[in-house]
């Protein structure tokens, strides 16, 4: 009779078993055709977005500024043009073109002339000038036209005193506003990446559940190890996708200089990049553990779509909570967003862009790791109780089952 296997050797240790599952899933997904097409899709989007942005910037740069048609008398038109030339170095003024006063009889014809690109028409006299054009345009130009008319009527350029300029590097208000824009961009990017990539966990589990593979795995190794292995495999796959997409986006940023529009985050770009990746991993693992629990209980892919709707809505609520909380760092709402596990990664990304302290991030990451462990264990226990009722006792494992069968011979 075959001797029974020792109890302590009946199954692999938790983390070793999780590593086996993670390596298996990572290799299977990475070299599949579906993943290749999954990678190509966002690359097309990034390329099209970059090309559209470059074309838009070129179109804006090449666009001709609207001009002011000056339809005064000949003498006053010359005086107005001379005053415009004297003041143009002091004030930002619209470009002008002196036209025949007779053309003022038909201002609509001047404004409709596509080749001359007039934004408004000035007629009347220097003492009583009149602007004709759209309401927004004439309100914008009225003060500057009045200044030029006053200058043309008599005052000389020497009567305008020079203004000494003492520029400052940055003000507190401008710095906060710029950091807030960077925080919003980082938070939004984190949300979009998590939404795009987290669904792969659920679809993979449902597929293996339909093939009964998940039940075989659950009989041989701890269910916690299956969940941890699948989560970290999908996280590694996600990092591969982010690396590829990030390289393409980085090339576009270098060419277009799009990053120049964002102020450096409070912790600096290197630390912010590292924290962003860490918080993406935490956000992915947290929502992925919920998706795993949903996928483990859903019998079909159609049921997954229905059951995952609350989790998707929860993600949106978490995003809105973090977006609102970032406007007032240190408030009760912001501290709640930091403490709530699902919103904590988003809130801390926003805080990294606005606050230079690093120690809160160490505490937040430790708290999020504990939350991931708790969520995964809860999902695995739920799977064992709701799905694996008729299967072998999970505490014994596949090897113990074989040993028990051998003893019966």
Q: Among the listed ranges 34-38, 43-47, 52-56, which one has the minimum average pLDDT value?
A: 52-56
Residue 284: Cβ-neighbour burial (10 angstroms; 0-12, 13-18, 19+):
buried
CA–CA separation, 82 and 80 (whole Å): 5
CA–CA separation, 388 and 395 (whole Å): 12
Contact of 145 with 122, CB cutoff 8 Å: yes
Whether the per-residue pLDDT at 209 is higher than 50: the answer is: yes
**Residue of 396, 3, 19 whose CA lies nearest to 228:** 19
CA dihedral sign, ordered 121, 124, 127, 131: negative
For residues 104 and 193, the model is more confident at 193
Contact of 103 with 71, CB cutoff 8 Å: yes
Token pair 């005053």 is at which residue? 83
Residue 337: Cβ-neighbour burial (10 angstroms; 0-12, 13-18, 19+):
buried
End-to-end Cα spacing for the chain: 7
CA–CA separation, 68 and 91 (whole Å): 15
> What is the per-residue pLDDT for 394?
45
CA–CA separation, 289 and 283 (whole Å): 10
Contact of 384 with 297, CB cutoff 8 Å: no
> What is the per-residue pLDDT for 50?
60
Could you write out the DSSP letters of every residue in 61-96?
HHSPPPEEEE-S-HHHHHHHHHHHHHHTTTS---EE
What are the structure tokens assigned to 24, written together?
Answer: 């298996």
Whether the per-residue pLDDT at 340 is higher than 90: the answer is: yes
- SS3 state at 113: coil
Average pLDDT over residues 191-199: 83
Long-range Cβ contact pairs of 84-88 (< 8 A, separation 24 or more): 84/148, 86/151, 86/157, 87/147, 87/148, 87/151, 87/157
Average pLDDT, the chain: 76
pTM of the model: 0.65
What are the structure tokens assigned to 376, written together?
Answer: 């995964």
pLDDT band at 335 (very low <50, low <70, confident <90, very high): very high
Helical (H) or strand (E) element with 395: none
Token pair 């226990």 is at which residue? 381
Whether the per-residue pLDDT at 342 is higher than 70: the answer is: yes
CA–CA separation, 118 and 134 (whole Å): 11
> What is the per-residue pLDDT for 4?
45
Of all residues in the chain, what percent are helix, strand and coil, respectively (each to 5)?
70, 5, 25
Q: Among the listed ranges 24-33, 288-297, 381-390, which one has the minimum average pLDDT value?
A: 381-390
pLDDT band at 332 (very low <50, low <70, confident <90, very high): very high
- SS3 state at 98: strand
> What is the per-residue pLDDT for 85?
87
Average pLDDT over residues 2-26: 68
Secondary structure of 267-312 in HEC code, one letter for each residue: CCHHHHHHHHHHHHHHHHHHHHHHHHHHHHHCCCHHHHHHHCHHHH
Average pLDDT over residues 197-225: 71
Contacts of 177 (CB under 8 A, 6+ apart): none
Distance of CA 314 to the CA centre of its chain: 18
pLDDT band at 51 (very low <50, low <70, confident <90, very high): low
Helical (H) or strand (E) element with 132: strand 129-133
What are the structure tokens assigned to 234, written together?
Answer: 């999908």
> What is the per-residue pLDDT for 203?
67
Which tens digits make up the pLDDT trace of 291-304?
877 776 766 666 66
- Of all residues in the chain, what percent carry a pLDDT higher than 70? 71
Q: Among the listed ranges 21-35, 311-325, 346-360, which one has the minimum average pLDDT value?
A: 21-35
> What is the per-residue pLDDT for 228?
87
> What is the per-residue pLDDT for 49?
61
CB atoms within 10 A of CB 66: 17
Average pLDDT over residues 375-393: 69
What are the structure tokens assigned to 8, written together?
Answer: 């302590």
> What is the per-residue pLDDT for 17?
83
Which tens digits make up the pLDDT trace of 237-277?
889 888 888 887 777 777 766 666 667 888 888 899 999 99
């Amino acid at each position: 009779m075959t001797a029974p296997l020792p109890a302590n050797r009946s199954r692999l240790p938790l983390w070793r078993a999780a590593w086996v599952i993670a390596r298996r899933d990572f290799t299977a997904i990475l070299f599949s055709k579906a993943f290749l097409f999954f990678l190509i899709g966002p690359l097309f989007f990034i390329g099209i977005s970059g090309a559209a942005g470059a074309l838009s910037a070129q179109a804006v740069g090449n666009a001709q500024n609207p001009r002011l048609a000056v339809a005064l008398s000949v003498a006053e038109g010359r005086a107005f043009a001379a005053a415009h030339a004297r003041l143009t170095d002091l004030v930002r003024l619209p470009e002008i073109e002196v036209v025949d006063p007779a053309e003022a009889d038909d201002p609509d014809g001047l404004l409709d002339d596509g080749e001359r690109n007039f934004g408004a028409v000035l007629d009347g006299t220097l003492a009583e000038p009149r602007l004709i054009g759209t309401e927004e345009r004439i309100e914008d130009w009225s003060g500057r036209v009045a200044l030029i008319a006053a200058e043309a009527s008599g005052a000389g350029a020497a009567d305008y005193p020079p203004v000494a300029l003492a520029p400052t590097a940055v003000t507190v208000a401008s710095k906060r506003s710029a950091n807030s824009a960077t925080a919003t961009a980082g938070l939004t990017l984190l949300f979009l990446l998590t939404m795009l990539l987290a669904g792969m966990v659920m679809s993979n589990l449902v597929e293996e559940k339909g093939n009964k593979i998940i039940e075989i795995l659950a009989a041989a190794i701890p269910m916690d190890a299956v969940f941890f292995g699948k989560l970290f495999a999908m996280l590694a796959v996600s990092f591969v996708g982010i690396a590829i997409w990030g390289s393409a986006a980085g090339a576009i940023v270098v060419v277009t200089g799009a990053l120049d529009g964002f102020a450096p985050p409070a912790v600096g770009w290197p630390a912010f990049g590292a924290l962003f990746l860490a918080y993406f991993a935490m956000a992915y693992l947290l929502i992925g553990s919920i998706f795993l629990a949903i996928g483990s209980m859903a019998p079909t892919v159609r049921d997954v779509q229905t059951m995952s709707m609350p989790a998707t809505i929860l993600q949106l609520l978490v995003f809105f909570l973090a977006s609102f909380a970032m406007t007032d760092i240190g408030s009760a709402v912001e501290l709640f967003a930091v403490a709530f596990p699902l919103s904590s990664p988003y809130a801390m990304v926003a805080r990294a862009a606005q606050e230079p302290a690093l120690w809160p991030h160490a505490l937040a990451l430790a708290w999020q790791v504990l939350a991931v462990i708790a969520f995964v264990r809860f999902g695995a226990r739920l799977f064992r109780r709701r799905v694996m009722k008729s299967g072998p006792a999970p505490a014994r494992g596949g090897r113990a089952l074989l040993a028990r069968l051998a003893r019966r011979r």
